[in-house]
Amino acid sequence: MPVSVMLVGGARPNFMKLAPLFHAFRRSAMFQVSVVHTGQHYDQQMAGSFFAELGLPQPDIALSVGSGSHAVQTARILERFEEQLREHQPDMVVVVGDVNSTIACALAAAKFEYTDGRRPRIAHVEAGLRSFDRTMPEEVNRVLTDALADYLFVTEQAGVDNLRREGVADARIFLVGNVMIDTLLGQAEEAASRAAWRRFGLQPQSYAVATLHRPSNVDDPANLARLFSALETAADRLPIVFPVHPRTRSRLAAAGLAGSGTLFLCDPQPYTDFLSLLSGARVVLTDSGGIQEETTILRVPCLTLRENTERPITIERGTNRLIGIDPAVIVRELDAVLGQPMPRTAPPPLWDGAAAERIVAILEKAFAALQAARPAAAAVR
Ligand code: UD1
């Protein structure tokens, strides 16, 4: 009997992590994989386009939960995902990243017991990252998901150290690299040849890319206004392409803020187009987690509009700087970066395009051991 795996995604940053995992599970003779889309993100630009672009099949299961407060969204996913566990009885649930879909599906699985006493095992991909800032919703999701998962797949050594400090047994921790970078490396050539900067009339290495979506930056009107004015000043130095997340779009509209001159606001971009924009950028200004990692691999300077990061390797490599949201500091740091050559840093260990393969190889061994120990009920904990 194949081991059945449910691969769960819900928000934009999840889909580029799911794709290499899906393909690696499909290549294994041991696993039968299905894809669950919780529907946390539902716009074509935030979710739909990623499936076609990354070679993911249409989801086998769509929970269609949509937007809501944290409690409402998490509760809807919990309820609807539990129904799927009951119906399909997967041997393993794989969750990625740190969004509400991640914790909700891990929690539903952790408390679920099938009628024959089996429980689904839980794998968390991108485990162990910590900003040590519990006011970030994602930090809460990370800590809780890691407390529940059986297999913790980690992207960088700091994540291993964090988990050990929290008392997680070494047997549950696996440093495997970064599945999001698997996808990036697979698409890098296509992204470069797409030259997405041309659509804005720009030349490579002569413009910046900006993104903003953290609630602490965009939901507070004063912070949003400060950041926007910093971007307007920065756009006098070099043109800025600013693909606008739906959360930010509604906050900017409410504040009456719009792009002008060389500050180009546009819709969220398809994955490969966005990667193309990043790869041609002279500098990136962002509050995203994933973009800090992508710029490290692309060797593009990244100015992170936050006080902390859960991804310290990006700082250690020298591509990323934490600069906060003071407009004077942002412009000063931008000027400093523009006066320096582009970084020439080596990629972090194991960020080599093979992380998903490593994860599946580890899980093959783990399930082979379980089946050998308990042939009749391979997934009993
Ligand atoms: C979520 C994640 C965040 C991740 C981000 C990437 C959590 C707690 N946060 O934040 O970690 O970095 O996704 O994008 O899970 N909306 C749309 N269309 C969509 C999705 C959302 O219009 O397809 C609007 C809705 O008004 C919604 C708002 O955007 O209320 C925010 O969406 P939500 O899923 O709550 O969180 P994000 O801010 O996207």
Whether ligand 1 lies within 6 angstroms of the CB of 42 is answered as yes
Residues 115-151 pLDDT 10s? 999 999 999 999 999 999 999 999 999 999 999 999 9
Tens digits of per-residue pLDDT, 72-85?
999 999 999 999 99
* Cα-based distances in Å from 20 to 179, 219, 355: 7, 33, 8
Residue 171: give its domain's CATH number.
3.40.50.2000
Of the candidates 23, 41, 124, 213, the residue annotated as catalytic is 213
Mean pLDDT of 33-47: 97
Q: How far is the CA of 260 from the centre of ligand 1 (A)?
A: 25
Q: Verify that 18 and 158 share a domain, yes or no.
A: yes
Mean pLDDT to the nearest integer, 339-358: 97
In this structure, the answer to whether residues 323 and 357 fall within a common structural domain is: no
Together in a domain, 329 and 365: no
Q: How confident is the model at residue 227 (pLDDT cuts 50, 70, 90)?
A: very high
Q: Is the CB of 138 under 6 A from ligand 1?
A: yes
pLDDT in tens, 15-32: 999 999 999 999 999 999
Residue of 63, 216, 247 to mutate, ligand 1, most atoms within 8 A of C-beta: 247
Q: Which residues contact 74 (CB under 8 A, 6 or more apart)?
A: 100, 103, 104
| pLDDT at 331 (0 to 100) | 97
38 C-alpha to center of ligand 1: Å? 12
Q: Are 108 and 83 in contact (CB under 8 A)?
A: no
Query: For the chain, how many structural domains are there in total?
Result: 2
Does 346 fall in a domain?
no
**What is the residue range of 131's domain?**
3-178+351-380
Q: Is 37 helix (H, G, I), strand (E, B) or coil?
A: strand
Give the 3-state secondary structure percentages of the chain, helix then strand then coil, rounded to 5: 50, 15, 35
**Do 285 and 362 fall into the same domain?**
no
The pLDDT of residue 376 is 55
**If you take atom 33 of ligand 1, which residue's CA is the nearest one?**
67
Examine the domain organization and report whether 89 and 149 are in the same domain: yes
pLDDT(378) > 50: no
My answer on whether 13 and 150 are in the same domain is: yes
Axis crossing angle, helix 179-194 with helix 271-280, rounded to the nearest 10: 70
CA–CA dist 118, 376 (Å, integer): 11
Mean pLDDT of 346-367: 98
Active site (annotated) includes residue 213 = yes
Specify whether 308 is located in the same domain as 355: no
User: CB of 40 closer than 6 A to ligand 1?
Assistant: yes
Q: Kindly state whether residues 102 and 208 are assigned to the same domain.
A: no
**379: pLDDT strictly greater than 70:** no
Q: How confident is the model at residue 374 (pLDDT cuts 50, 70, 90)?
A: confident
Cβ atoms of 176 and 358 closer than 8 Å: yes
Count CB-CB contacts under 10 A for residue 32.
14
User: Given this model, what pLDDT does residue 375 score?
Assistant: 57
Give the residue whose CA is nearest to atom 19 of ligand 1: 41
Mean predicted lDDT score pLDDT of the chain: 96
Closest atom of ligand 1 to CA, residue 46:
23
User: Please, which residues have CB within 8 angstroms of residue 35's CB and are 6 or more apart in sequence?
Assistant: 6, 7, 9, 18, 22, 56, 57, 59, 60, 61
Residue 192 lies in a domain: yes
Mean pLDDT of 221-228: 97
**Residue 295 belongs to a domain:** yes
* Cα 328 to middle of ligand 1, angstroms: 29
| 231 and 114 belong to one structural domain | no
128 and 145 in contact (C-beta within 8 Å)?
Answer: no
Residue 305: its pLDDT value, please? 98
Same domain, 213 and 313: yes
Per-residue DSSP letter, 8: E
Mean pLDDT within 321-333: 98
Assigned domain for 287 exists: yes
Which residue's CA is the closest to the ligand 1 atom numbered 35? Answer: 67
For atom 16 of ligand 1, the residue with the nearest CA is 246
Residue 165 lies in a domain: yes
Same-domain check for residues 225 and 139 = no
Domain-located, residue 45: yes
Q: Concatenate the DSSP letters of all residues of 111-160 into one string.
A: T---TTS---EEEEEEES---S-TTSHHHHHHHHHHHH-SEEEESSHHHH
Residue 24 lies in a domain: yes
Q: What are phi and psi of 61, to 5 degrees?
A: -135, 130
pLDDT at 381 over 60: no
